[in-house]
Amino acid sequence: MRVPVYPQDLIRNHGFKSLAKQLLQQWHGSTPISLADAQKALAQGLGYKSFYDLNEASKACHPDKPVPPEADVRQAIGSAIKATLQPGDELNLERLVNDLSLTNLVAFKRVQVSPDAGHSAFLLKLVGGAQSGLIKEHVQTLEKILAESGSLRDRALFACMLGALRASEILSARMKHGAAVYGVKSRDTKNVIDAIPDRHRSVFEQYIKTSKLSDGEYIFRAANALGRPLSTDALRKICVSWALKANIDEGLLTPHSLRKTTDDYADLMRKISERMGHHSANSSWAYAPKLPTTRIH
């Protein structure tokens, strides 16, 4: 049995490297271990002779390589760790192994997020090195993680971002006559709930209800000053925390990048382009050198 390991898993604080650190930090045996020992035990548990063997195999690991059942992998990791223990070592091995976040590995992320036939394209994006942009599979991962977190505030923020609201609109949103509203350039206000996708509205409404906000109060408030809105920097830090939990490059996850993954955003850009006369055919003619710029109607 071998668990597929990819170059993306060997980036600092990602995949295998993060698992090895987790193992090191949670080790409470009578005899301490080094990071190298943790990497060796983990590599052997994943089916490799050593960390070096794992590192070399990752360079040619195929995206569609099958993934063993998680229960079998945890059992193998437990056996590998047990073999490293010295006589008299006291260690809650079962708890240690069960606490390991195997979903940090690309292989298990693939199984968790994309079990259908279309998983290959997503996996290729992950194992090909740096991620080039936020994709819908990332959004699905975030949605699952936030749902499991139990944080209504984070889920409400996420709902607003999926509603294609700008960060400034989210942070400036207030209660008005019992409804959550945000401002637009015309200085008019719009109902936040109207922008949020249908399947996320109940979460947002639950957040509003449990927050017991009064008229004039900000929907998302600063932690240390309830009369002030959440700051841009605080929102950025929240996005970073989401990215770390979902094993997404921190720079990729912003309110704007989430907004760009929505169908509403794509439709908005298309409408703006059409209003400005930038149809694809027209643009091609307009920017081609020494060619007439007559528009196509």
> What pLDDT does residue 93 have?
78
- Please state at what angle helix 35-45 crosses helix 70-84, rounded to 10 degrees: 140
Sign of torsion, CA 188 194 195 196?
positive
Query: Cβ neighbours of residue 176 under 8 Å, at least 6 residues apart?
Result: 189, 215, 216
In which element (H, E) is residue 259 found?
A: helix 255-260
Q: How far apart are CA 125 and CA 8, in angstroms?
A: 10
Angle (nearest 5°) at CA 233 between 232 and 239: 90
Mean pLDDT by 10 residues, the chain (297 residues): 87 86 82 87 93 90 82 90 72 80 83 49 46 76 90 94 89 93 80 92 95 93 84 89 83 83 55 48 41 42
Q: What is the DSSP code string of 73-92? A: HHHHHHHHHHHHPPTT----
Q: Could you tell me if 214 and 187 are in contact, meaning their C-beta atoms sit under 8 angstroms apart?
A: no
pLDDT of residue 263: 60
Q: Which of 171, 222, 211 is nearest to 192 (CA)?
A: 171
- Give the predicted TM-score (pTM) of the model: 0.49
Which tokens hold the place of 266? 């794509």
* Sequence-ordered list of residues with C-beta below 8 angstroms from that of 159, at least 6 positions apart, any chain: 196, 197, 200, 201, 203, 204
Tell which phi-psi region holds residue 144, choosing left (phi > 0), alpha (psi between -120 and 50) or beta. Answer: alpha
How confident is the model at residue 255, as a pLDDT?
A: 86
